[in-house]
Amino acid sequence: MEICHLYISPGHNFVGHHGREPDTHPMIEVPVIECVAGRGIRGDRYFEFKDDYKGQITFFSLDVFDELCAALALRDCSPAAARRNVITRGVDLNELIGTEFEVQGVYLYGTEESAPCYWMDQAFVPGAKDFLKGRGGLRAKILSDGRLRSTALVPDAVG
C-alpha cells in the first residue's frame, strides 16, 4: 500500500452538525502521523474520541478520488475534502474490512467502510455521495503504536 497523503484535523466539521452548517476546521497535511494503539492518531479530532472506537484512523483511495474527479468534472479539488486520514494508492480498501493488516510496521484492523454521507455532496459536489457508495474508504482500529509516513513532502491545509 502506497501512502500518498496524510491528514489530521483539530476538530469535527460534520459530525454532530446535522441541521446546521459545518464547521471550518482544516485538514492539515503532515508528512508523518503518530498512531497510538486503541486511542487514534495523536493530534487528530478522533484521538480518544470513544472507547474502542471503530474509526480511530480512516483511509481513502487516491484512485477512487481520481475517478470521482473525472466522473463529476471536479477541478482544483483535494482528496483532503473527503476528511480521511490516510490517502492510499494500490489497494482495494474494501478487501481490508474484517481483517488485520500492517502498514509500515503499524498493525491495524479494518472495521467497516467509511460510508459516504450527505455531507459529501457539500464537500465535493452534488452527486459525490452516490458516486462514492461502496468506495467511501475504510475505518480501522489501531492495534499497535507506530508512525506512518507519506510520500508527499509539502504540507498544506484544506478546509
The half-sphere exposure of 109 on its side-chain side, counting CA atoms within 13 A, is 11
Residue 137 lies in a domain: yes
Indicate the pTM of the whole model: 0.87
Per-residue pLDDT reduced to its tens digit, 102-149: 999 999 999 999 988 877 888 888 999 999 999 999 999 999 999 999
How far is Cα 26 from Cα 145, in angstroms, rounded to an integer? 25
**Within-domain flag for 19:** no
In the chain, the N- to C-terminal Cα span, in Å, equals 26
What is the residue range of 131's domain? 2-12+24-152
Confidence category of residue 88, pLDDT binned at 50, 70, 90: very high
For residue 18, being part of any structural domain is answered with: no
The domain that holds 92 is classified in CATH as 2.40.33.20
Asked if the structure places residue 140 within a domain, the reply is: yes
pLDDT for res 154: 47
For the chain, the domain total comes to 1
pLDDT in tens, 19-57: 656 556 678 999 999 999 999 999 998 999 999 999 999
How do 27-29 and 2-8 pair as beta strands? antiparallel
> Is there a domain that residue 158 lies in?
no
Residue 159 has pLDDT above 80, yes or no: no
